[in-house]
A and B are shown apart, each in its own frame.
Chain A
Amino acid sequence: MTHLLRRDLGVALLLASLFASGCAARSSAGALAPMAAPAAATEASVDAAPAPGAIPGGAAQTPASAPRSAPSTGLARPAPAPSPSGPSAVQAKEDPRAPKLDDAQKPLLVYEGGLGVRVPKAELADRLEQAIDVAEAHGGYLVSRTDSGAQLRVPSQRFRAALKDLGALGEVTRRSVAAQDVSEQYHDLEVRLKNLESVRARLEQFLARAANVDEALRVGKELEGVVRQIDEAKGRMQYLKTRAAFSLITLTLEPAADKAPVVATGDKPVPTPPARPLRMPVKWLGAVGLDQLLSLE
């Protein structure tokens, strides 16, 4: 009996220490993430926006063969710019004096762009189709669509080129770009994932050494919770990577007013001048009328 109690106490202490390490990792990641996101959000013009930063490690999965549908969730890291038209001028003219960053050091940036384009009213539907074609040509896809706009995702390396091509659909009335640095969030998730995987490994060891069914059930239950947390962390990391790999462009098409008839000057049409007074060289014509007719004196 005493032996059993001592053994249970040992398992309990071990589990408590394991949870303590897992919870610490979780609270660390959870506390840092919400602080990092808003602090890193920035607004920039298109021309000033740097090329999207690469995500540390891994290879890209570009859904170029998935037209007008969301890509699979297997997106990882954006590939290096594959096309000459894709990379921005900023990338092409990279300052040689700038420090060389490896993938682990590059910031993880999420780009979101807004574009207002004025187009002829009669051609609005056609221009919207063309906008989707532009996104697909850049390896992107349609996220959502309304009668007068669409949300498109394009590979981050093609973000600037896609914005430029979409702007060519009409007269650009509004353009905005926001970049959000999610590197810290991503890093916290990496640390948390590492800790959780360590806990999972130790729990798996305990499970293998469980002396009875009851002990195995308790360790198994804890293992199940850790695995769930690992899945959540991986899912969150995957989400951040996807957002960074594919930038969101919100396109709004504005119907241009029908052209008014051209007038010579001002807002009002020029009035037609009165007809040239016709004076016939016939004296009696001037006498016709009520003035003389009714003059009886």
Chain B
Amino acid sequence: MTQRTFVLTLSLVATLFGSGCSRGFDIKTPDGFAELDDAAGYRYRATSADGVVLAVRREKNEPKGSLDFWAAAVGNELTSRGYGKPAVESLKSQNGTAGKKLAFRTVKNGRPSVLWVAVFVSDDRVVVVETGGDADHFSQVESKVSAALSALVVG
């Protein structure tokens, strides 16, 4: 490998990492949110000053399932834990990956709360975007969160 080839390869890797494609997705942190370093099991996590959190996890598509399967699995899991029946909405990522958004309303620490879970599925990956918080605070940033979901790039 010549020096020129090495530099080009390094640049490409740096570009890829910089764009976030190494995580298998790319998300723009909404205005008024701060990305957290400690993701605690997530590939990405950001929070607003009021405690509305946006986080993304990427998992292996194992067992191999379709979008409907994973959306139903997430819905059943949360419903069984008392979240109630979600409102389901179809989504598309910015790069055209089909997804589903499950919107739950629940009570957390005595306060009405909101949880959205968006699921995108590729052949080998399942990208799950979670966002939620106090219902009053969430309503103030809902449009920003929705914009972030629309701008999501699933790798």
The residues of A with any CB-CB pair to B shorter than 8 Å are 277-278, 280-282, 284-290, 292-296
Contact = CB atoms under 8 A, between A and B. Distances in A.
B127 to A, nearest CB: 12
Interface in B45-95: 47, 51, 53, 55, 57, 59, 62-63, 73-74, 76-78, 80-81, 83
Contact of A290 (B63, B80, B115): B115
Contacts of B59: 282, 284
A293 B76 contact: no
B81 A296 contact: no
Contacts of A277: 80
A293 B55 contact: yes
B133 A294 contact: yes
Nearest to A277: B80
Given A282-B73, A296-B53, A288 B128 contact: yes
Nearest to B134: A294
26 contacts: A280-B76, A281-B63, A282-B59, A282-B62, A282-B73, A284-B128, A285-B73, A285-B74, A285-B77, A287-B57, A288-B78, A289-B78, A289-B81, A289-B115, A289-B130, A290-B113, A290-B133, A293-B53, A293-B115, A293-B131, A294-B108, A294-B133, A295-B40, A296-B36, A296-B51, A296-B53
Interface residues of B, number: 29
B41 interface: yes
Among all A-B residue pairs, the 8 with the closest Cβ atoms = A285-B77, A278-B76, A293-B130, A293-B53, A284-B59, A280-B73, A290-B132, A290-B115
Contacts of B41: 284, 287, 292
Nearest to B52: A294
Contacts of A284: 41, 57, 59, 128
A162 B77 CA distance: 71
Contacts of A288: 57, 74, 77-78, 117, 128, 130
A282 B62 CA distance: 8
Contacts of A282: 59, 62-63, 73
Contacts of B51: 294, 296
A293 B132 contact: yes
A287 B106 CA distance: 17
Contacts of B108: 290, 294
B115 A278 contact: no
Contacts of B115: 289-290, 293
Contacts of B36: 296
Nearest to A280: B73
B77 A280 contact: yes
Given A289-B115, A290-B133, 5 more contacts: A284-B41, A284-B57, A289-B78, A293-B115, A295-B40
A144 to B, nearest CB: 62
B62 to A, nearest CB: 8
A289 B83 CA distance: 9
Nearest to A287: B41
